[in-house]
């Protein structure tokens, strides 16, 4: 069987449209019918038909007006005009309005089915075009190579290979900067959806009131500032993967709406009654302790189980042994070299901001050095201090980490220093630390820093 088409017949010749409906239903398509143009317009605004087949001369509504209003009520539905009295003028006019095809009755059913399938193809292409434009306009980063040979990264690689080709929801857990987005990209790249772009939303980077409209879209005029209709990222990610970063930050009020779309693929844009269906694979990431969030009532338990079909844990950089050296070599730009003690302190540092912080540190050092030779003076104070702290015990093995208490103190000190250096500017401090602004606020609260 060919693919199922969702068709609406708008024709006042009941016998004709019933005959067509029976024929199309026998072929496995879904058919709705109405004899009234107004009812056709209403139905199109409530349901996303693939194709509507219209009569040109309906009582009370001329063909041109019907086409115009059908297009307004749902610009995504393809229109085919099938009329008893076709004139060249009508055909030209309807094509100008974007009708897919204009034919006169009688028209063989097999040909009509082929025209419908071609219309569905055009609809799909148009949708893909919109998706691509949306993704490009929301800036797509190219996927980077994932560096790491330690056992936990090997294990992670094997899990990614196993889970990627399935359609299962995946929850990636790990501290900030450990590479959760890279893992999401790898899962998408290894999935049958890889030919479509991965769509990403970061719940922490958006003000709460914007998260809903970004995820689910909105109609024009649905709230102040909604000057144009905008499809949500779920629609943009139709037949692809949606990466929901920092899902732990998703406002509680929005969680039932997300649960619904995960359960049956249906959603409504803000300000719309129309139910839309999407087929989206979810990969989510968090650096929060989700069971704790659930216990505290900040995250719905049912939603947690939905997104956590497969959990992937990313180890912090300080637990990856020799990988730190590999990452340093990978991210050190050509033409720069490190003093031995610099390399040693990079390897021994606890990296609270993980790989992102390591990349920032190397970039900063390459700006600080005058001659391409990076010395301890080119490192940020937190690294210099931590190296000084370990000088008293040079036999300290790479993996022997400071006690948790001192790690927290180190983090506090580092944040305070960065804030001081950036004259208290939190946006710049967050950038320097390699974290989102909202995360910085949480860190400040955690450490009681004013
Ligand atoms: N194993 C790795 N190999 C190479 N680059 C990596 C690796 N892990 C992370 N990176 C790089 O580190 C930076 C931070 O990674 P990413 O954004 O994936 O982290 P994250 O865990 O999603 O962070 P956050 O929780 O703050 O969103 C990116 O530039 C990424 O390309």
Q: What is the pLDDT of residue 440?
A: 85
User: Which H or E element spans position 171?
Assistant: strand 170-173
Separation of 411 CA from ligand 1 center, angstroms? Answer: 19
Measuring CA to CA, how many Å separate 224 from each of 30, 232, 306, 360?
Answer: 38, 17, 33, 39
Q: What is the pLDDT of residue 400?
A: 33
Q: How many angstroms separate the CA atoms of 412 and 427, rounded?
A: 17
pLDDT tens, 94-148? Answer: 888 889 999 888 889 999 999 999 999 898 888 877 777 767 665 555 556 899 9
Separation of 182 CA from ligand 1 center, angstroms? Answer: 6
Q: What is the three-class DSSP state of 2?
A: coil
Separation of 157 CA from ligand 1 center, angstroms? Answer: 15
Separation of 198 CA from ligand 1 center, angstroms? Answer: 16
**Is the reported ipTM for this assembly greater than 0.90?**
yes
Question: 187: closest CA among 279, 277, 311, 302?
Answer: 311
Residue 414 tokens read as 């580092």
* pTM for this predicted structure: 0.66
Long-range contacts of 426-435 (CB under 8 A, 24+ apart): 432/360, 433/353, 433/357, 434/176, 434/177, 434/353, 434/356, 434/357, 434/359, 434/360, 435/176, 435/177, 435/353
Same fold flag, 151-313 and 317-447: no
Residue 159 tokens read as 């899990």
What is the CATH topology of the domain spanning 6-124?
Answer: Rossmann fold (3.40.50)
Residues with CB under 6 A from ligand 1: 144, 146-148, 174, 176-182, 245, 285, 287, 355-356, 359
Q: Where are the alpha helices (DSSP H) in 237-280?
A: 255-264
- Please name the residues in contact with 333: beta carbons below 8 A apart, sequence gap of 6 or more: 362, 363, 366
One DSSP character per residue, 7-38 reads EEEE-S-HHHHHHHHHHHHHTT-EEEEES-HH
Separation of 178 CA from ligand 1 center, angstroms? Answer: 5
Q: How many angstroms separate the CA atoms of 309 and 426, rounded?
A: 36
**Residue 106, preceding bond cis, omega within 30 degrees?**
yes
**Residue that has been written with the tokens 């967050």 in this structure:** 430
* Ligand 1 atom nearest to CA at 287: 25
Pocket test residue of 182, 184, 245 for ligand 1, highest count of atoms within 8 A of CB: 182
List the residue whose alpha carbon is closest to atom 23 of ligand 1. 177
Question: 115: closest CA among 160, 82, 164?
Answer: 82
Separation of 142 CA from ligand 1 center, angstroms? Answer: 13
* Ligand 1 atom nearest to CA at 183: 18
Backbone phi, then psi, for 299, in 5-degree steps? -135, 130
- Please name the residues in contact with 85: beta carbons below 8 A apart, sequence gap of 6 or more: 56, 57, 104
Q: Count the residues in the chain.
A: 450
pLDDT tens, 382-404? Answer: 888 776 665 433 333 333 333 34
Separation of 424 CA from ligand 1 center, angstroms? Answer: 26
List the residue whose alpha carbon is closest to atom 10 of ligand 1. 179
* Ligand 1 atom nearest to CA at 330: 4
Domains of the chain, by residue range, sit at 6-124, 151-313, 317-447
Q: Where are the alpha helices (DSSP H) in 167-300?
A: 180-189, 208-216, 233-236, 255-264, 290-295
List the residue whose alpha carbon is closest to atom 9 of ligand 1. 179
- Please name the residues in contact with 106: beta carbons below 8 A apart, sequence gap of 6 or more: none
Q: How many angstroms separate the CA atoms of 280 and 448, rounded?
A: 41
Residue 296 tokens read as 């505290």
Q: What residues pair up with 311 in beta bridges, in sequence order?
A: 171
Q: How many angstroms separate the CA atoms of 303 and 320, rounded?
A: 31
Q: What is the pLDDT of residue 140?
A: 52
Q: What is the pLDDT of residue 420?
A: 74
Low-confidence residues of the chain: pLDDT under 70: 1-2, 134, 136-144, 387-406, 423, 450
Q: CATH for 151-313?
A: 3.40.50.300
Q: CATH for 317-447?
A: 1.10.8.60
* Ligand 1 atom nearest to CA at 204: 27
List the residue whose alpha carbon is closest to atom 12 of ligand 1. 356
Q: How many angstroms separate the CA atoms of 313 and 180, rounded?
A: 9
Separation of 304 CA from ligand 1 center, angstroms? Answer: 23
Q: What is the pLDDT of residue 145?
A: 83
Q: What is the pLDDT of residue 40?
A: 93
* Ligand 1 atom nearest to CA at 439: 26
Separation of 443 CA from ligand 1 center, angstroms? Answer: 19
- Please name the residues in contact with 247: beta carbons below 8 A apart, sequence gap of 6 or more: 171, 203, 284, 285, 286, 307
User: Which H or E element spans position 51?
Assistant: strand 51-54
């Amino acid at each position: 069987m060919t693919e199922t088409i969702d068709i609406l017949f708008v024709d006042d010749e009941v016998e004709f449209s019933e005959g067509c409906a029976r024929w199309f239903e026998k072929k496995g398509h879904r058919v709705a019918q109405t004899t009234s143009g107004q009812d056709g317009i209403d139905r199109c605004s409530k349901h996303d038909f693939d194709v509507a087949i219209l009569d040109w001369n309906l009582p009370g509504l001329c063909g041109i007006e019907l086409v115009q209003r059908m297009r307004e009520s749902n610009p995504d539905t393809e229109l085919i005009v099938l009329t008893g009295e076709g004139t060249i003028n009508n055909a030209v006019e309807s094509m100008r309005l974007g009708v897919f095809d204009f034919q006169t009755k009688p028209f063989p059913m097999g040909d009509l089915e082929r025209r419908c399938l071609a219309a569905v193809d055009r609809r799909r292409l148009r949708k893909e075009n919109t998706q691509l434009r949306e993704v490009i306009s929301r800036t797509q980063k190219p996927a980077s190579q994932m560096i790491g040979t330690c056992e936990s990264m090997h294990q992670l690689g094997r899990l990614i290979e196993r889970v990627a080709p399935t359609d299962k929801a995946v929850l990636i857990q790990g501290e900030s900067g450990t590479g959760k987005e890279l893992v999401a990209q790898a899962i998408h790249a290894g999935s049958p959806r890889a030919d479509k772009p991965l769509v990403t939303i970061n719940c922490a980077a958006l003000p709460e009131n914007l998260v809903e409209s970004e995820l689910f879209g909105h109609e024009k005029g649905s709230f102040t500032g909604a000057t144009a209709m905008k499809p949500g990222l779920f629609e943009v990610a139709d037949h692809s993967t949606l990466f929901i970063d920092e899902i732990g930050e998703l406002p509680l009020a929005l969680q039932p709406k997300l649960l619904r779309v995960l359960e049956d693929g249906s959603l409504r844009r803000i300000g719309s009654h129309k139910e839309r269906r999407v087929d989206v694979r979810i990969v989510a990431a968090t650096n929060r302790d989700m069971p704790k969030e659930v216990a505290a009532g900040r995250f719905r338990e049912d939603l947690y189980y939905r997104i956590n079909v497969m959990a992937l844990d990313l180890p912090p950089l300080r637990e990856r042994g020799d990988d730190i050296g590999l990452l340093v070599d990978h991210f050190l730009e050509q033409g720069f070299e490190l003093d031995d003690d610099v390399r040693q302190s990079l390897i021994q540092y606890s990296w609270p901001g993980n790989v992102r912080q390591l990349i920032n540190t190397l970039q900063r050092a390459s700006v600080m050095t005058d001659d391409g030779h990076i010395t301890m003076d080119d490192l940020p104070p937190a690294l210099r201090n931590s190296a000084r702290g370990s000088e008293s015990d040079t036999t300290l093995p790479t993996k022997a980490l400071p006690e948790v208490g001192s790690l927290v103190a180190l983090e506090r000190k580092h944040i305070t220093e960065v804030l001081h250096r950036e004259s208290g500017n939190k946006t710049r401090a967050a950038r320097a630390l390699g974290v989102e602004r909202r995360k910085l606020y949480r860190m400040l609260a955690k450490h009681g820093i004013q």
